[in-house]
Chains A and B, each alone.
Chain A
Amino acid sequence: DAGVTQSPTHLIKTRGQQVTLRCSPKSGHDTVSWYQQALGQGPQFIFQYYEEEERQRGNFPDRFSGHQFPNYSSELNVNALLLGDSALYLCASSLLSGGGETQYFGPGTRLLVL
């Protein structure tokens, strides 16, 4: 049973560029949440996708956008990158339609903005 997978594992970008991160949920899950974790901090919720719609959003600017595909996989897009966007980006999946809310995390994508 495959767990949550994310790609790429590491990424280096320059200020002003755009980046796309990808996430495949755990088998059988229908919901994907994204979190940002700065160095030394706990993860912060960015947004959650269910049925290809953004279901809930945290306190992040519009530069952060996402998408969920019919196969439940998801992308996180960040435009106009800032140095402060350097962080570990985590994807978590869950089965919303089943009533359970336990989220399982992937290994993360480490983004460095220079």
Chain B
Amino acid sequence: DAGITQSPRYKITETGRQVTLMCHQTWSHSYMFWYRQDLGHGLRLIYYSAAADITDKGEVPDGYVVSRSKTENFPLTLESATRSQTSVYFCASSESPTTSGRKGDTQYFGPGTRLTVL
């Protein structure tokens, strides 16, 4: 049971370059999320998706683009990386909130990608 995986685990890039972070889940969860983790801020939601081809902005979406052509994949793209986007990025997934027993309220996280923008 692979669960939720992220790649790469570590990435160093330069200002202005495009970077794509990958997220893959094997549970067929309908919901997927991207967070960034920064000291003093905890986790902040960047984008989320309720299903394939349905995405919406979170708290800090500027400078990021997402897509979800397949249920299991939710890539995050930094179109032109900036130093302020140096962070640890976490992908998460959950069942639908309409799932019985409120299983959909629990999000499950990937191992993270540490991104450094020079």
Bound pair: A and B?
no
